[in-house]
Structure 1
């Protein structure tokens, strides 16, 4: 029963994400410092802002926790971003039910184990540590999105509209 509702929820989010594609909101030019040679388009500014701010949480890294965070957020008519929901998926859950999501909506965050604090190369099996690390991954995605500059709101038929977007952020340790 839970699997049915989760599948239904992911499907609804996917459809909402597709309906918002035609008027994708974007970060205004100059709101994010781009490296030399980077194209100055909305997607580049968005990805640069994300990758400049996101960090692999220390607890998740120390416990060897990997997986993905599915995040749903809205951009209101003033350009403000509000995180609606985050959900953690373990690598096993992702393999069991692949998600249909655009490649441009998938981000990857990698932590390298060389010189990392306390990472032994094997993930923890302690349930309390797993929950804490998984929650930290979700919190990091929400924190990073909340730090983004104000967006240029989406427009439809000449009017600004609220827009719902989804992203899938993979966390991996190499």
Structure 2
């Protein structure tokens, strides 16, 4: 009886760790694909809490520099992916925030971490989300090299971080709206 319990426990552990290994293998494959043509690294200057000098590509394929393009505006950067359930779950509140925020004062950057940008574009179309979608056009800067997604940063008009949300958030509350006014 003890040997059956031990065998069952061993198999459960093996399946659990095997599942984690598979998701890591997918990320390893993505990393290998992305590393075939390494882009130049992004920089933040001397301040690691500042909006980095970083190139992003929009859904039309145009490359812009995030710091230059949104200079003088507050910037919300959301790192997400279509394969991430918490990322998908927070999208409706982000869409509501986007719809109710003055775009002349605030820029939104929904930065897809998908290995296929086309999947992110299709996801946004299917869900009828109108938020501006971007993809990294170069290696992620250290600031955006986060442990998990979704992660959201809010930068003030001078490019300084004023808020960071790690994990799923609700963006319909007064605290976030106040940061973006």
- TM exceeding 0.5: no
Larger Rg belongs to? 2
With a CA cutoff of 8 Å and minimum separation of 6, indicate the structure with the bigger relative contact order: 1
TM-score (norm 2): 0.24
TM-score (norm 1): 0.25
